[in-house]
A and B are shown apart, each in its own frame.
Chain A
Amino acid sequence: MKRILIIDDAATVRLYHRQILEKAGYLVEEAFNGLEALEKALQAPFDLYLVDINTPKLDGFGFLRELRSQPITQTPAIMISTMAEERDRQQAAAAGANDYLVKPVRPEQLLAHVRPLLGEVST
């Protein structure tokens, strides 16, 4: 079963994404911020990271930069944000994100972006 880590400081968002992903058959863990996520990722790498940009302590960009500097993982990551400007997408790509989603995300939209990054056919 593929493991996904959701990184978001908003509890409602974490729960919403968790329910969508679990219903689709994924094993989901949560982190409140980039620091907590980094600890979890270094303990046992995941198959995909769903990363909010604006998290306290260590933001999404910082988390991805740290993650990408580690030799253990080039695991795919989707950055997710309320910010929809092109410069935000570029900044996310520069930090190492494979994809970018603008909140609020619909269930089918989330799965359509998650599945290809996990090597699955999106239906």
Chain B
Amino acid sequence: MPLIKPGQTPPSDEEKRRWPRDADGLLRALDDSTPSARRCSARDMANAENDAQRALFAAALLARLRSEHEVSVREVMLTTLVRLGDIAALSGLADCLRTDDTTLRNEVIEAMREAPAETAPIILELLGDAEPSLRVFAVNILESFRHPDVEHWLIDLISHEANVNVCASAVDVLCLTGSTASRPALLALRQRFPEEPFLQFAIDLALKRTAD
């Protein structure tokens, strides 16, 4: 039974007739000219029955994602990619963070925040990415990420991170979510970047907010 989010319209009878709800039908419906058919297809792909189908749907969704101009369809495609939990799907999503398309990047960040259990392993990889902007995006995902290890990951990050903007993003999140456990790492970070006024400001703010 397909999952239907509140506020979403289930596939109309016409759409159901036009494209069978089996794997082949869903793949063909993803290229339909009407957004509602594409949206329904993307949504139903979340109910893949086995690993082979998950991989097939993930590849199709990723191939279509960057050319899909309808925001509501893209949202469902992203949610399904996260829910599939397939490693190729999650790696493909992470690759979207490398695009110049800021809208798509923000949508991916939102989608990844919504499913911490599925996306945690890929976020840990992103926190160690060679590209600082990717590490910043990974930290941004953690801002409202419901996972018990978030503070531990951020403490670990600021203990060795060399890029000032990555550190600043992490401190910003610790300001909102950190506890007294983050204070030693924040104090050490302040010592490492004595010439960066913004980072000093952000650390002082985080230290005040984590004081008790």
A residues adjacent to B (C-beta < 8 A): 10-13, 15-16, 19, 53-57, 59-62, 82-83, 87, 91, 103-107
Contacts and interface: CB of A to CB of B under 8 A. Distances in A.
A106 B133 contact: no
A103 B197 CA distance: 11
A107 B196 CA distance: 11
A55 B106 CA distance: 8
Contact of A104 (B164, B205, B206): B164
Contacts of B175: 11-12
Interface of B: 100, 102-103, 105-106, 109-110, 132-133, 136-137, 140, 164-165, 168-169, 171-172, 175-176, 196-199, 201-202, 205-206
Instruction: Label chain B's interface by main secondary structure.
Output: helix
B14 to A, nearest CB: 33
Given A12-B175, A54-B140, 17 more contacts: A10-B169, A10-B172, A11-B175, A12-B171, A12-B206, A15-B201, A54-B102, A56-B110, A57-B106, A61-B102, A82-B132, A91-B100, A103-B165, A104-B168, A104-B196, A104-B199, A106-B197
B140 A104 contact: no
B209 to A, nearest CB: 10
A105 B199 CA distance: 10
Contact of B133 (A56, A59, A83): A83
Contacts of B165: 82, 103-104
A103 B168 contact: yes
A19 to B, nearest CB: 8
A109 to B, nearest CB: 10
B201 A12 contact: yes
A13 B197 CA distance: 12
Contact of B136 (A60, A82, A107): A82
B172 A59 contact: no
Given A10-B172, A87-B100, A103 B198 contact: yes
Given A12-B171, A91-B100, A82 B133 contact: yes
B162 to A, nearest CB: 14
A11 B201 contact: no
A117 to B, nearest CB: 21
